[in-house]
Amino acid sequence: MDLNMITIGSRGSALALAQTGWVRDQISAKFPDEQIAIKVIKTSADRNPTASIRAGSSVGVFVKELEQALIEKEIDIAVHSMKDVPTSLSPGLTISAVPEREDARDAFISDKARKLTELPSGSIVGTGSIRRQSQLLVMRPDLKVLDIRGNVDTRLKKLHEGAYDAIVLACAGLNRLGLNGQICSAFEFSEILPAPGQGALAIEVRMDDQHAITLTSILNHIPTATAVSAERLFLQHMGGGCNVPVAAYARFSLGMMQIDGLVASPDGKTVIAESVWQRSEMANDAVRALADRILERGGRAILDAL
């Protein structure tokens, strides 16, 4: 690796490259003398794009090879979708910046309806997420929710070819790819609560690489970082990975943080949801208490069954 070159690692999907390109451009704008390259790293999920990621063993499938490349100094910076990042990082690594969050909502996309409520009974909805499946079935238990794999373009192609009547994707990814015109409607947080960290990016570096920390820390957006930290603490306290039916969303209002948490059975028949308001400096204790209440009300039994 060129000692004068900063290398950013990325997955090879169009979305990952768009996100990484944005990070590179932001750093270049602030540090125009830096030479920055992007290196594509294939992850477990990329090597087997047809396999389901619903299994518990899928924790970290989008990030572990990027982390290994960081540790081995093949790259200096890794860019991830925050919702894919396990709550425990590899030793020696740290998240140096969480840029301002994109739209955290989930998007309904269909050629047959503008909203979920308009789909005929028995319609097939595609999602790769148990969290989305659970909440879709709460609203529409008469629908068939089936697994879907592939990147954003692949999923949209499957929809438009008629394999599904509708699919659900993150608004953030569609916006970053300039595909927001595909969105028929966005689910409100009261309808589908997002994955912890959804819509946010995680910029990861080696703890001892002060140069990379300096370059990337200018991208940190404190309100986003604080909210995402609370959501990830909730996920960690629930004992869940990145693809369990656990959802959380934190936001600020009038100097207070509102945190919504949820766990649901995959069939949508059992949903346990709670909310808490707290000053941001006391948010961690509030998040732990929120998770404990949900676990005690039946959340632990749902997660144990998985």
Q: What angle do CA 103, 261, 113 make, to 5 degrees?
A: 50
Residues in the chain: 306
Exposure string (b/e) for 274-300, b if CB count within 10 Å is 16 or more? bebebebeebeebbeebbeebbeeebb
What are the φ/ψ torsions at residue 116 (nearest 5 degrees)?
-60, -35
Query: Are 248 and 259 a contacting pair, CB within 8 Å?
Result: yes
Catalytic residues: 84
Q: CA end-to-end span of the chain, whole Å?
A: 43
Among 75, 86, 85, 92, smallest CA distance to 24 is for 75
Q: DSSP states of 206-266 as a string?
A: ETT-HHHHHHHHTT--HHHHHHHHHHHHHHHHHT--TTSSEEEEEEEETTEEEEEEEEE-T
For 204, which DSSP code? Answer: E
d(CA 61, CA 46): 9
Burial of 255 (0-12, 13-18, 19+ CB in 10 A): exposed
Among 265, 283, 284, smallest CA distance to 273 is for 265
Residue with tokens 């997955």, as numbered in its chain: 11
